[in-house]
Structure 1
Amino acid sequence: MSRLATPFLTLSNEFVNFSGWMIGPPSEPLFPAADILENWDYEQDIQVNIHVDLDFTGAAAQLGIAPKNLKLGVILLAGTGAGSLPRRVDRLGAAFIDSDNHSVTLEEIIPGRTLSGQIFLCVRIVLDSPIDSGGTLSPKQRGARLWETHHHILIEDGGDSRFPIELASFSESFQARPEQYAPWLVDWNPIQLAADFSGNVRLYVNSDIEAICERFIEGDSLTLQAMVADVMTQIIEAALEVDCAAELDQYEEGSIGHQARVWMEISFRGLNIEAIRQMRSYSPGKFKALILAAADFGEDE
């Protein structure tokens, strides 16, 4: 329960029966949410279930509003991102409680591709109606926050520096297009450096090329090194196009821009961005070789 510093009456815990957080893969039995979400990958969506039951008569009395007039909204929110504050917060669902319906159940899905670092779950009870009614200290505005509870869940390994890799038939995905013969393809948008790295960078390996497919499945170190280096090179080169070095420093942890900065520090130790740009322009072979060398860190990447 968070502290609500509001100039109006709010709900105390004694009138709100919250069942707790139930999570798990969609279409499978859900389990109570722990502090760490283990054995998860970015292809896996997360289903969230909550149940709220209200002592409606007691709640109405505490708010100073007649029960027959009172209508409350229950809102389920989910956020994600590294750090103490979520980078993004989405409204997953909402339902209403009134004198005829004292409880609600909300069950929603969080797309796995949107998650990074941790999951922030929140349930809020807000005023829906009446407006400008009740006593002097009664809430009077629609959406006034009356009660809230939240839970932070750390994603295993924090989701940092990781990206989804999957096998795909390029002859089906890129039929009659030149890229169908490429051994792999990095799918991402270089103009969205502020986006979550984990949900917006994906490496597809061409399952039509048997030799590459076998090396990838077997975890051949040189093959994986080349793949990771390609991802690093593309993202670093896009980051070098940013006009101001200070702008690159402002990208939040877990974003594509932040990961570019981390990879530059690993690949070009001791060099500032301008020196890296100069190397890229005048010594492109060395520029790419240093990235390729830095990519030799296997599964930790």
Structure 2
Amino acid sequence: MSRIALPFLTLPNEVVNFSGWMIGPPSEPLSPASDILENWDYEQDIQVNVHVEIDFTEAADRLGINAADLKLAIVLVAGTGSGGLPRRVDRLKTAVLDINKPEVTLEATIPGRTLSGQLQLSLRIVLEAPANSGEPLSPKQRGARLWQCHKHILIEDGGDSRFPVELANFSESFKGRPEQYAPWLVDWSPTTLDADFSGNVRLYVNSSIESICTRFVEGDALTLQAMVADVMTQIIDAALDVENESDIDRYEEGSIGYQARAWMEMSFPGQNLENIRQMRSYAPGKFKALILATADFREGE
């Protein structure tokens, strides 16, 4: 026999006093959240603050539960990733309210490295107690969702094909090591293709090489092309080492593996994984040249 989900009573908006979403950098004054998160980079964490007050007398009446017995859990949740469904969801804070404690302020810090695409905030009120009590249509199970509110915030341009770039003095960071003379360095791990791209790939530009630093800061197209092509080549190389083509297809939007697949489709249109592998092995110059051409920043030339 199929199971039928029976309806239960929930909370109307008028019994929940929700002050709205407050957001901003940690240790700074917060402001009401807008639809776009501006002036932000992946190094910057985000502080989220919400205040909720519940009219427990009215809430108990609406749910058909004795006000003295009613306990409600307030849950703050954050999701991130491109598209309608978040790739990552975290429960940030939870607090239990009752008639003697009808209000709470929840505050949490979201690490910037975990974010990509958009920030999807959710505030939920669920039944904490009592279970299996009240009237026939009263919620009976702990965790039954009684009220919720959402806020979707676009991060920059959605995070597509972007990664953090940072100026660093290699003479200090890699003193006495060969890396100190490199014009740039891509920091990432090829063992984490399923990880979030924007939070796990970082390009460091050597500020101790004045000519490279100047070209980068001024947005020199050929310099940027060489840098981005290096990132693309490294990540495509790692993806090509995955044994099965079906494994490449399983990576979710916003991940390193997904970005590798997108770059391969741009650089080698119409070619399957094995054809690209063959080119890398037997025509490495052409393989790298096609990636370099895809990374061209010049427009209309």
Measure the CA separation in 1 of the matches of 2:175 and 2:93: 39
Query: In the alignment, what sits opposite 1:133?
Result: 133
Other-structure match for 1:65: 65
Unaligned 5+ segments in structure 1 are: none
Larger mean Cα displacement after TM superposition, 228-237 or 217-226? 217-226
Contact 2:36/2:154 (CA < 8 Å) preserved in 1?
A: yes
TM-superposed CA distance for 1:207, in Å, is 2.1
Superposition pairs of residues 49-64 of structure 1, within 5 angstroms: 49-64=49-64
Question: Which residue identity does 2:97 align to in structure 1?
Answer: I
Return the offset for 1:239. Answer: 0.8
SS of the counterpart of 1:157?
A: coil
Cα displacement string for residues 206-225 of structure 1 (whole angstroms, at most 9, x for unaligned residues): 22222322222222222211
* Partner SS state of residue 135, structure 1: coil
Aligned equivalent of 1:297: 297
Partner of 2:244: 244
Query: Which one-letter code corresponds to 2:203 in the other structure?
Result: L
Tell me, yes or no, if the aligned pair for 2:49 and 2:107 is still in contact at 8 Å: yes
Query: Are the equivalent residues in 2 in contact too, given 1:224–1:298 (CA < 8 A)?
Result: no
Q: 1:6 to 1:238 in 2, by over 3 A?
A: farther
Q: Structure 1 stretch 44-53 or stretch 112-121: which is displaced more?
A: 44-53
Residue 142 of structure 1 corresponds to which residue in structure 2? Answer: 142
Are 2:50 and 1:77 aligned? Answer: no
Amino acid at match of 2:210: E
Q: Distance in 2 between matches of 1:112 and 1:11?
A: 34
Query: Mean Cα displacement is larger for which, 83-92 or 16-25?
Result: 16-25
1:110 matched to which residue of 2? Answer: 110
2-side partners of 1:130 and 1:45: how far apart?
A: 38
The 2-side partners of 1:14 and 1:255 are apart by 41
Q: Taking structure 1 as reference, are residues 76 and 240 closer, same or farther at Cα in structure 2, changes over 3 Å only?
A: same
CA distance in 2, matches of 1:275, 1:74: 53
Is the contact between residue 15 and residue 59 of structure 1 (CA under 8 Å) also seen in structure 2? yes
Q: Percent identity?
A: 74
SS in 1 for 2:11: coil
Match of 1:254 in 2: 254
The aligned amino acid for 2:222 is: L
Partners of 1:132 and 1:176 in 2: CA distance:
69
Q: Shift of the alpha carbon at 1:179? A: 2.2
- Tell me, in whole angstroms, the C-alpha distance in 1 between the residues paired with 2:148 and 2:174: 48
- Indicate conservation of the 8 Å contact 1:119/1:154, yes or no: yes
Q: Match for residue 208 of structure 1? A: 208
Task: In structure 2, list runs of 5 or more residues that go unmatched.
Answer: none
The letter of the residue matching 1:260 is: A
Alpha-carbon distance in structure 1 between the residues aligned to 2:30 and 2:115: 19
The CA distance in 2 between the partners of 1:274 and 1:146, in whole Å, is 52
**Equivalent residues in 2 for 1:159-198, closer than 5 Å:** 159-198=159-198
Q: CA deviation at 1:59?
A: 0.6
RMSD after superposition: 1.9
TM-score w.r.t. structure 1 length? 0.91
Distance 1:72 1:179 in 2: 56
Q: Aligned partners of 2:23, 2:49: CA distance in 1, in Å?
A: 6
Q: Give the number of aligned pairs.
A: 295
| 1:283 partnered with 2:283 | yes
Q: Which has the larger displacement, 275-284 or 188-197?
A: 188-197
Amino acid in the other structure paired with 1:276: I
